[in-house]
């Protein structure tokens, strides 16, 4: 199944992967930094840059801000920021996001964002005209929200982190029940970063088997480039990878992000891997000339006189091919030669009575 994401170039299928440079909040609330990220993502060969659309009012409840705690970032122990302050600073406004979309258009790279609420989804579809809607892992079991997003009529890219298979299945059915069959499913582990043994890339094959009508991709939070490239070898049609200018910058996701050089390697090598996967049908791709050079012909092991009968011990096999192949041995044994022939002579049909 092909899913056309933009009118011009982006088609998800089972060929070269579509690469999303996940900017998330790596702009740290600085739009000049965001522009640099967009430029470097384009230069790296990525197909798309993606932001995250949330505000302090749509991402956390008031209780979370009062607790002042989020996963490994315990803001109760910090003096520079509270959780609410850093969420507010790292968010991107509608005006800023629209500015980034226009800038990305000028640079020549797709641009979208992940909505965290209905208000943000409305903006992305109605004002920004996003090419597709990306569903974060945390919202895969948010079925009312999935239904709302699906009714927007845009292609859906769904991350499956945090979820069991039955939850994934319910999510896909929720989208399908709205009549939307434009779905890409991403295997994902929502740990930053996961240990290798928790990544379970074989889940890509499981999703392919379970949902053969939909393309399957990979949303990556691992360190380095090996794991996303391995996903391509398993058939991933899309790679989503966090992107940064500097892994040591202050912020949530920089350490698990790819730099420009790493993203270039992901883009270039994923295309090579995809090309190298080729067809499931086994056929020789070498030229006839190459086959002749590497294969063997039947040759003589001694000088033979005209009228002699060929015996098994008279026959050997040497390069180049293109005359009698080794599988013609039984046909030649017992045949009479019609002229004197020398040792190592390559037999042809003109040598036989």
In sequence order, what are the beta bridge partners of 73?
Answer: 70
CATH of the domain at 123: 3.20.20.70
CATH of the domain at 305: 3.90.1210.10
Instruction: Please give the radius of gyration of the chain, using alpha carbons only, rounded to the nearest integer.
Output: 30
- Domain enclosing residue 103, as ranges: 9-55+91-277
Query: Does 149 share its domain with 235?
Result: yes
In angstroms, the Cα distances linking 211 to 1, 186, 187 are 11, 12, 12
The confidence score (pLDDT) of residue 15 equals: 61
User: Looking at the domain assignment, is residue 203 inside a domain?
Assistant: yes
The confidence score (pLDDT) of residue 78 equals: 85
Q: Are 46 and 18 in contact (CB under 8 A)?
A: no
The residue among 277, 298, 319 that closes a domain is: 277
Residue 16 burial (C-beta neighbours within 10 Å; 0-12, 13-18, 19+): middle
User: Looking at the domain assignment, is residue 153 inside a domain?
Assistant: yes
Closest to 94 measured CA to CA, from 126, 62, 133: 126
Torsion of CA 325, 329, 335, 340, to 10 degrees: 60
The number of beta carbons lying within 10 Å of the beta carbon of residue 210 is 15
Query: Does 298 share its domain with 225?
Result: no
Query: Does 257 share its domain with 188?
Result: yes
pLDDT averaged over consecutive 10-residue blocks of the chain (353 residues)? 39 71 96 98 98 96 94 83 94 98 98 97 97 97 98 97 97 98 96 96 97 96 97 96 96 93 98 90 90 96 97 97 96 97 97 96
Query: Does 105 share its domain with 225?
Result: yes
Task: Give how many domains the chain has, as a whole number.
Answer: 2
Query: Does 231 share its domain with 336?
Result: no
The pTM assigned to this predicted structure is 0.87
Say which residues have a Cβ less than 8 Å from residue 317's Cβ, sequence separation at least 6: 296, 297, 298, 299, 326
The confidence score (pLDDT) of residue 8 equals: 31
Query: Does 50 share its domain with 167?
Result: yes
CA distance linking residue 226 with residue 193, whole number of Å: 13
The confidence score (pLDDT) of residue 283 equals: 87
Query: Does 200 share its domain with 220?
Result: yes
The residue among 277, 302, 327 that closes a domain is: 277
User: Looking at the domain assignment, is residue 82 inside a domain?
Assistant: no
In angstroms, the Cα distances linking 243 to 47, 87, 99, 199, 240 are 13, 19, 19, 19, 9
Query: Does 300 share its domain with 262?
Result: no
Query: Does 315 share its domain with 273?
Result: no
The confidence score (pLDDT) of residue 21 equals: 98
Query: Does 336 share its domain with 271?
Result: no
């Amino acid at each position: 199944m092909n899913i056309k994401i933009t009118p011009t170039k982006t088609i998800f299928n089972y060929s070269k992967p579509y690469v999303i440079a996940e900017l998330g909040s790596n702009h740290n609330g600085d739009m000049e930094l965001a522009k640099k990220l967009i430029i470097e993502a384009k230069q790296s060969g990525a197909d798309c840059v993606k932001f995250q659309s949330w505000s302090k009012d749509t991402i956390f409840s008031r209780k979370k801000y009062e607790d002042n705690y989020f996963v490994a970032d315990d803001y109760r122990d910090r003096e520079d920021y509270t959780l609410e302050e850093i969420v507010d600073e790292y968010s991107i406004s509608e005006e800023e996001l629209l500015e980034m979309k226009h800038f990305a258009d000028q640079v020549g790279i797709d641009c979208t964002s992940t909505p965290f609420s209905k208000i943000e989804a409305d903006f992305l579809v109605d004002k920004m005209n996003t090419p597709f809607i990306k569903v974060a892992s945390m919202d895969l079991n948010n079925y009312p929200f999935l239904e709302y997003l699906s009714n927007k009529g845009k292609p859906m890219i769904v991350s499956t982190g945090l979820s069991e298979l039955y939850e994934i299945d319910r999510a896909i059915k929720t989208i399908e029940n709205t009549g939307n069959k434009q779905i890409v499913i991403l295997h994902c582990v929502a740990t930053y970063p996961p240990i290798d043994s928790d990544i379970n890339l074989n889940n890509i094959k499981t999703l392919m088997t379970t949902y053969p009508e939909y393309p399957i991709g990979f949303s990556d939070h691992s360190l380095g480039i090996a794991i996303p490239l391995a996903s391509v070898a398993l058939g991933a049609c899309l790679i989503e990878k966090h992107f940064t200018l500097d892994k040591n910058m202050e912020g949530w996701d920089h350490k698990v992000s790819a730099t420009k050089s790493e993203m270039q390697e992901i883009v270039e090598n994923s295309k090579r891997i995809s090309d190298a996967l080729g067809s499931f049908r086994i056929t020789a791709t070498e030229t006839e000339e190459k086959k002749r050079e590497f294969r063997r012909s039947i040759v003589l092991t001694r000088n033979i006189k005209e009228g002699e009968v060929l015996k098994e011990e008279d026959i050997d096999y040497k390069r180049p091919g293109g005359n009698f192949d080794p599988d013609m041995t039984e046909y030649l044994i017992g045949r009479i030669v019609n002229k004197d022939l020398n040792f190592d002579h390559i037999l042809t049909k003109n040598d036989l009575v």
